[in-house]
Amino acid sequence: MTLCEAIPRGPYRERSIPVLETKRLALRAPRLEDAKTVAMLADDRRIAENVARIPHPYKLADAENFIGGANQKDGEAVFLITLRDETIVGACGIVPQEQAAELGYWLGVHYWGSGYATEALHAVIDYAFTDLDHPALHAGARVTNPASRRVLEKCGFQWTGVGLYRIRAINSSAPIDRFRLERGIWSALKGWGRMKRVNN
């Protein structure tokens, strides 16, 4: 779970990105009115200790900054993960980096172990390779977080080594298992159902 909190880049503007639908979920762009719910979900040390830039405690202003900075760059796609009844359960997305786009996610603790992370990432990976045309994706999981590692492996990511990441919530660096998924491997291994793209 390494989705970096986006840094605000000026006044909030909602860039149009599609809604992605899966069997149980809908992934959509975050909106300012979501800030209170996002803050409530993310304000858990168990999440913050596994995501690079989420502070703890996580306040309403942090959620507003995250939402205000999301989906501002070309090649970036940040989504809230919602159930079909529109209950927000977490966030995921793709953020461009120098070497390859970075995939990350987090879920509210109450929703862990449900398979939602894998289902959401399948849709985002499809979108990254088809609509955003990224050639490869990077991701990471703390070495103390085997559940996140299993999610990435189920999505076809291959382990590439261990690195150190600064974890804001613990004010220190921690070892991270690094993973990579290339478009050719995704195309050959893809066995999950297609996500449905719904234009806003």
Q: Which domains does the chain have, with CATH numbers?
A: 19-193 (3.40.630.30)
Backbone phi, psi, residue 32, to 5°: -55, -35
CA 200/CA 198 separation, integer angstroms: 6
On the question of pLDDT at 10 being above 50, the answer is no
* Sheet with 101-107, side-by-side order of all strands: 158-167, 172-182, 136-142, 101-107, 88-95, 77-83, 25-28, 19-21, 196-198
Backbone phi, psi, residue 168, to 5°: -60, -40
On the question of pLDDT at 122 being above 50, the answer is yes
Mean pLDDT of the region 20-34: 97
* Segment 135-188, tens digit of pLDDT: 999 999 999 999 999 999 999 999 999 999 888 888 888 999 999 999 999 988
Q: Which residue has the tokens 């990254």?
A: 128
Collect contacts of 132-136 with beta carbons under 8 A, ≥24 apart: 132/75, 132/77, 132/94, 132/101, 134/75, 134/94, 134/100, 134/101, 134/183, 135/100, 135/182, 135/183, 136/100, 136/101, 136/180, 136/181, 136/182, 136/183
- Report pTM: 0.87
* Segment 61-101, tens digit of pLDDT: 999 999 999 999 888 999 999 999 999 999 999 999 888 89
